[in-house]
Amino acid sequence: MRLTRTSVIVAVIGVVLLVAAAVVRFVVLPSVNKLGSDFSTSQSYQGTYSGLNPAVLAGNPSGGVLVRNIPAAATRKYAVTSTDGDTAVVAQTVTRAIGGQDQPTPTAHYAIDRVDFGSVPAPSGATDVVPSKGLIFTLPQHPSTSTTYQLWDPTTAAAYPLKYVSTSTVAGRTTYDYRTTASGKIADPASLGLPVSLPKAQLTALAPSLAGLLPPAVLTQLSSVLAKLPASIPLSYTSTTTATISADATLGSPLKTASTQEVTAQLGPIAALAVPFSTLKLTTTAASSKATADDTAGTVSQLNLVGTVLPIALAVLGIVLVVVALLLARRAAARQPGGPSPAPQQGTSTPTPV
């Protein structure tokens, strides 16, 4: 074997391509595969609201004290505000409108792992991060159908089991459907526009109008205890939310969510007196599901390119060039002076007659 300039150049290019394949697969892919510092996503929802008219609590009783199935809309947005190694701080902003009336827009910050998207401790120096557990806004890539995940519920500030129930299709993409039920005391009623106290006079005035909302036994109990309540009645709330999340089977992104939230109010020191407050039903809009599905498809294609197609193409081309270099070296060795000579052919002689 004789190395020529051409064979050396071809071999070097082949080795460089093999190294590049390894770099793309084991260095570039992990970098692309985690949550980016410029990540931002949002989904829009629409549905209905039934219960106590929010306008009444705002001092505008037009439209009646109780409303049923009036239009409701919401948008939930997540955006990375900072990163620290494999930890990202993500801001969650929720906007809602009920019957055309805008509700408070709470924003909360969470620290999550940029690879598996689970909750992690806040980075050093981060002071506005809400302690959390479980998943915040997405499932991990290639979500499991046998694992019971934990999903964070910001309303009650707790995590609840998220279990696989079926497989379906959303906007042309295969999804795994998961279901969860979050039930507990509302952690911050004020951030949701819920009053933390109610003047006794206002409750007394509302009592006759609550007949359509309260069971007869509760209504009777309310009438009997009004005289014993203080002038300003403290309120607390419980929330029960049942949700089904259709997550992309490859990337884990939620493409569609349908939820029903029931809120109940507890009046002051009378723990047994619970008043149904509202029922809010929301489902991801078709347009929003389609937009998220398109973004997800683009991300999956990019990851396939970086993680599979490009490394294989570089590796195959590199191997081919190395083989070509070896063949060129062998061919040059066969041609060089003093190199192996072809064996002489054995001729066939004709016998000489005696």
Cβ burial of 109 (10 Å; 0-12, 13-18, 19+) is: middle
Comparing CA positions, the residue from 282, 287, 325, 254 lying closest to residue 16 is 325
CA distance readout (Å), 339 to 327, 331, 335 = 16, 11, 7
Our measurement of the distance from residue 295's CA atom to the centroid of its chain's CA atoms, rounded to an integer in Å, reads 13
Q: Which parts of the chain register pLDDT below 70?
A: 1-2, 57-63, 207, 209-215, 217-219, 221-224, 268-273, 336-354
CA distance readout (Å), 137 to 13, 43, 91, 322 = 44, 11, 11, 47
| Per-residue DSSP letter, 290 | H
**C-alpha–C-alpha distance, residues 95 and 193, integer Å:** 12
Task: Render pLDDT for 315-348 as a digit per residue (tens, 0 to 9).
Answer: 898 888 888 888 887 887 777 665 555 555 555 5
What local confidence, expressed as pLDDT, does residue 99 receive? Answer: 85
**354 Cβ neighbours under 8 A, 6+ residues apart:** none
